[in-house]
A and B are shown apart, each in its own frame.
Chain A
Amino acid sequence: MKFTRRYAGLALASAAALALAMPASAQQTTQALTSESVIESIKQEGVIKIGISLFRPWSMRDLNGELVGFELDVGRQLAEDMGVEVEFVPTSWDGIIPALVSGKFDVIISGMSITPQRNLTVAFSDPYAFSGMTILANTAMTEGFTLEDYNSPDVVFSARRGATPAAVIASMFPEAQLLLFDEDGASTQEVLNGNAHATMASEPTPTEEVGRYGDTLSVPFNRAFMASGEAFAFRKGDPDAENFFNNWIGIKTRTGWLQERNDYWFRGSEWSDMVAE
C-alpha cells in the first residue's frame, strides 16, 4: 500500500512536470527552426552562397571571364535585398543537388525546373521563370515531320544528361532514342553532324544556333513545350527560407522586375557582345 501510494505520487509529479515542459518545448522547437534556417546562417556569415551551373543564357562567362546572365542578375539582386555579399559557386550539373544537400552552398539558382523527382530530395520555391523547351532539328533529316513523327524508334534525340530537356524528350517522345552528353554544345553538335535528328533547349539558344547554322538547323515548331517553371532549390525542412524566397519572388514578379530581366536575357540580344559569338 505504502509503495503504491509512493509510486502514484511519483507518476503524478512527473505528469505535472511533463505538462509544464510541453509548451516550453514547443516554443523551443520554433526557436530552433528559426535559428537553424539557412536565412539565419546567411545573415550571420554576411554572405549568400549560390550554386550555379553554367548554362547559356542563364549563366555564362563573358569575354572577361566574369559571370553574367539571368541567374546572376537574380542572385545579385537577392543578395542586395538581404544586405549581404553574394558568392556564386560554379558546380557541375551532375553534382549540384548533392552539393546543395551537403551544404556547399545555401541555394541553387540555376534554371532548375521543378520536377517531382528532384522535389523528393530538395525543397523548391515558387517558380521565378517559365521557359518552355523548343525543338531544334536537323532540317534535312526531319523534312516534313509532324510532331507525332518524332515519336518513333528511328528518330534519335540528343540532350544534356540530367537536365530538363532530357526529361522532357523522354516523356514527350518515349519511342525515340535518346543520346546523352555532358553539356549542351556536344548535343547540338550531334544534330549538326547528322548523328541525331533533334535536340531540345529553352529559347533563345535554338534561335541563336539557327542563326549560325541556317543551312543545317531549324526550329520546326514555333511553340514551347512543357513550361514547368524554374525555381530556387534549397535544403528541405526550412520553412523560413521557403517563406522568404517565395515572398521575394512574389514581390519581384509583381513589380515586373523578373519579367524585365527575363526579356533582357531571353528575348533581346543586347548582351550578345558581352560573350564570344
Chain B
Amino acid sequence: MLGFFKRLHWMDYLIVAVIVIAAVTITSRIGGNLNYDWRWENIPNYIFRFDIAQDKWVSNLLIQGLVATIRISIYSSILALILGIVLGVSRCSSNLTIRMLARTYLEFLRNVPPVVIIFIFFFFLSEQLITALNMESWARGIARQENNGVWEFLFGDMRRFPALISGIIVMALFQSAFVGEIVRAGIQSVDKGQREAARSIGMSHFQELRYIVLPQALRKVLPPMANQFISLVKDSSLVSLISVPELTFKTVELVASTRMIFEAWLVAVAFYFVICFGLSMLFRRLEKS
C-alpha cells in the first residue's frame, strides 16, 4: 500500500485534487439549482417486491426490463454473428455482384443514424415478417396454455413476443453490418499462403473457408467482437422507441407513473453499467487465457 503512494508523482496528487474539487463543485451546484424532491425510498420496490399472494419475492418493473434487455442482447448477438459472418464472407467474395450487394448493405447501415434504421426495419421488415408468419396468434396461443414455463423462461411474457422478436431482428440487422466489417478484417488478415495451400491440397472453396480461413480469422477478431457485443447491449436501449419492453422502456414507464425522473434513470444507468462492465471484465479474462 505504502509502495503505491510512493510511486505517485506530485503531479498525480494535483490531478486528483482538481478532479475532487470539480466533483464537489458540480454536486453542490446541482443541490443548489435543482429543485427536486428525491424519493429514493420508493426505488427498491420497483426492483424486487414482496408478493403477499404468492408469499415470495418477485421481480418488479426494473428487473423485468433488465431481463428483457439481456434476452434481446443474447439473441440478437447470436443472429448478428451469423449474419455478420455471411456478410463478411460476401465482402471478400470473388463474385462482383455479391461483393457490391454486401457493400451496399453495409454502407447504408453505416451512414444512416441508428434511430432511423430502427424505424425503417421495424415498420417495413420485422412487421411484415411477423404478419406473414402469423406469429401473433401463435404466441397468444402459447400464452393461453397452462404449461408454458419453457417459453416464458426463454422469451418472457408470450403476449409481448412479437415486440421482443422485432426488437431482436432490428438489433441483429443493425449490428450485423459492423460484425460483418470485423469478420472481413479478420478474413483479410489471414495470410494468402494459407488459402493457396488449402486450394493446392484440393479443398473446395467452402472447405477452405470452413477449415482454414474462418477459424483463424474469428480467433483474431475476438477482441473487437467483444467490444461490438458490449456496444450492442448499450444500443439495445434504442429499441425502446419501437415499444419493446426492455430496460429503457420500463424506466420511461416508471418515470411517467411516478415522476421519479432522476432516481429511475440513475438506477437504469447503474444496471447498464454493471452489465457492460461485467462483460468487459469477462472478455478481458477470456482473452488472457
A residues with a Cβ closer than 8 A to B are 45, 47, 53-56, 60-65, 87, 89-92, 94-95, 98-99, 102-104, 182-186, 188-189, 192-194, 212-213, 216, 275-277
Contact in complex: A193, B34 (CB < 8 Å): yes
A238 CA / B160 CA spacing, docked (Å): 26
- Chain B residues with Cβ below 8 Å from A47 are 140
Contact in complex: A61, B61 (CB < 8 Å): yes
Q: Is B105 an interface residue (CB 8 A)?
A: no
A104 CA / B261 CA spacing, docked (Å): 28
Contact in complex: A92, B257 (CB < 8 Å): no
In chain B, what residue has the closest Cβ to A99?
Answer: B243
In chain A, what residue has the closest Cβ to B159?
Answer: A87
- Chain B residues with Cβ below 8 Å from A90 are 243, 245, 249, 253
A92 CA / B39 CA spacing, docked (Å): 25
- Top-6 shortest CB links A-B: A60-B257, A54-B256, A276-B42, A192-B35, A61-B257, A185-B261
Can you name 20 A-B pairs with beta carbons within 8 Å?
A61-B61, A61-B253, A61-B254, A61-B257, A63-B49, A64-B49, A87-B159, A90-B249, A92-B240, A92-B249, A94-B241, A95-B242, A104-B243, A183-B252, A184-B259, A186-B261, A188-B259, A193-B33, A212-B37, A213-B37
In chain A, what residue has the closest Cβ to B166?
Answer: A104
Contact in complex: B261, A92 (CB < 8 Å): no
A92-B240, A95-B243 as given contacts; A184 in contact with B258, CB under 8 Å = no
- Chain B residues with Cβ below 8 Å from A62 are 257
- Chain A residues with Cβ below 8 Å from B49 are 63-65
Contact in complex: A184, B256 (CB < 8 Å): yes
| Interface class of chain B by DSSP | helix
Distance (whole angstroms) from the CB of B265 to the closest CB of chain A: 10
- Chain A residues with Cβ below 8 Å from B35 are 192-194, 213, 216
Report the interface size class on chain B: 35 or more
A184 CA / B240 CA spacing, docked (Å): 17
List 11 additional A-B contacts (Cβ < 8 Å) besides A65-B46, A213-B37: A60-B257, A61-B254, A63-B45, A64-B51, A90-B249, A95-B242, A102-B123, A192-B35, A193-B33, A275-B257, A276-B42
Contact in complex: A54, B243 (CB < 8 Å): no
Q: Is B216 an interface residue (CB 8 A)?
A: no
- Which of B240, B242, B256 contacts A56, CB < 8 Å? B256
- Chain B residues with Cβ below 8 Å from A102 are 123, 127
- Which of B45, B159, B241 contacts A276, CB < 8 Å? B45
- Chain A residues with Cβ below 8 Å from B61 are 61, 65
A277 CA / B252 CA spacing, docked (Å): 16
Contact in complex: A276, B258 (CB < 8 Å): yes
- Chain A residues with Cβ below 8 Å from B237 are none
Distance (whole angstroms) from the CB of B36 to the closest CB of chain A: 7
Contact in complex: A54, B257 (CB < 8 Å): yes
- Chain B residues with Cβ below 8 Å from A54 are 252-253, 256-257
A47 CA / B33 CA spacing, docked (Å): 49
A128 CA / B240 CA spacing, docked (Å): 29
Contact in complex: A275, B159 (CB < 8 Å): no
- Which of the listed residues A56, A61, A98, A103 has the most CB atoms from chain B within 10 Å of its own CB? A61
Distance (whole angstroms) from the CB of A45 to the closest CB of chain B: 6
In chain B, what residue has the closest Cβ to A60?
Answer: B257
Q: Is B60 an interface residue (CB 8 A)?
A: yes
In chain B, what residue has the closest Cβ to A92?
Answer: B243
